[in-house]
Amino acid sequence: MALSYKARRRWSLVILLLGMPAYVAFVWWAMSLMERLPFWLELPTYIFLGVAWILPFRAVFLGVGKADPDAEE
Per-residue pLDDT tens listing for the chain (73 residues): 688 888 899 999 999 999 999 999 999 999 999 888 899 999 999 999 999 999 999 988 888 888 888 777 6
The domain segmentation of the chain, as residue ranges, is: 8-60
Helix axes 39-52 and 20-33, enclosed angle (nearest 10): 150
CA 19 to centroid of chain Cα atoms:
7
Helices in 1-73 by DSSP H: which ranges?
5-14, 20-33, 39-52, 58-61
Global pTM?
A: 0.77
pLDDT of residue 1: 63
Among left, alpha and beta (phi > 0; psi -120 to 50; other), residue 63 is left
